[in-house]
Amino acid sequence: MDVKEILQKLANAHGISGHEQNVRQIMEKEIKPYVDEIRTDKMGNLIATKHGKGPSIMLAAHMDEIGLMVKYIDDKGFLRFVKIGGWFDQTLHSQRVIVHAENGPLHGVIGSKPPHVMKEEDRKNPVKAEDMFIDIGAKNKEEAEKLGVKIGTPISLDRDFVPLLNGLYTCKAFDNRAGVALLIETMRQISEMKVDATIYAVGTVQEEVGLKGARTSAFGIDPDVAIATDVTIPGDHPGIEKKDSALEIGKGPVITVVDAGGRGLMADQNVVRWLSETAEENEIPYQLDVGDGGTTDATAIHLTKEGIPSSTISVPVRYIHSPVEVISIEDLKACATLIAKAAVNVSKYF
């Protein structure tokens, strides 16, 4: 498979936080030809290792996507849910979903009280997730339960990978199947290069609910340096100003300097220098990011044990944490090439 096909396969797969097994199986199959050893740790992180004699590099891509979970089934068979990860409630309303019941997946739709029967003041306010429900077509609670729906059943959005114009694609879960795809592509490129470093390519779990898998896997690996691969917000579409994000789709990899206003990651300056100088030496266009919003697995990794020098390389993706994220495949490929080239010269910096 080429990187677009791998991304499509990953993005179409379903795996909310704590239920990443489908994504892990795909990652393991696709990365296996390029590494020496693969294991799954107690937390569920996939750790694929390519052994070397040089410095050790941890590459981390979280496998989970934001989703929902059943919290209650009413007598008429409608499902109430909690949000798993950071949703903007308005993006959920009227979406199709897949309920991953024990007896097999069930299609459903997210509904709420119709505006026709709302009071005038209620129509002026967005519908909150707590006032929504999922309709799977069940006649009653007993039918839903017989189909394998229970408290704790995971739910994901029902959106498929499709092309837009000019090399752009849209799907759910590019956050962070893009990071997983570029990690696989990175290891493919590294397998064709002379790289002395030991590489740990890690698919982490539960990033969207607290960077949990990154914390435990980094503790076990204790690498010399780490790069998280993720997505980030560009400022190239209506509704956002360049002063809030100067990043653009199509302008190449994004190297994090600071995220979450320093409350998350303050990237190691030598890591930023290593990555930016590697990009310049190989004529790979890149972007630097100082952000005030979210953070990535690198935040948990860089605080592990005595501290691990870390940064993040991100693919700019529009509309993240929605069912209609948008990506450029060329940006993803450039991210993979930058990390592979950096693995070649890591001994100059660490």
Q: Which residues are annotated as catalytic?
A: 207
Amino acid occupying residue 22: N
Cα–Cα distance for residue pair 41/38, rounded to 1 Å: 10
- Could you give the 3-state DSSP secondary structure of residue 176? helix
Q: Are 175 and 327 in contact (CB under 8 A)?
A: no
- Residue 259 is encoded by which pair of tokens? 């995220």
Q: Are 47 and 202 in contact (CB under 8 A)?
A: yes
Nearby residues of 84 by Cβ (< 8 Å), 6 or more positions away: 16, 17, 18, 66, 67, 68, 69, 154, 208, 209
Closest C-alpha to 84, from 61, 108, 68, 65: 68
Element (H, E) at 10: helix 3-12
Sheet strands (E) in the chain: 37-40, 46-50, 56-62, 67-73, 79-84, 96-101, 104-111, 133-135, 154-157, 162-163, 168-171, 198-204, 225-232, 254-258, 287-290, 310-316, 325-328
Nearby residues of 5 by Cβ (< 8 Å), 6 or more positions away: none
Beta-carbon count within 10 A of 300 CB? 28
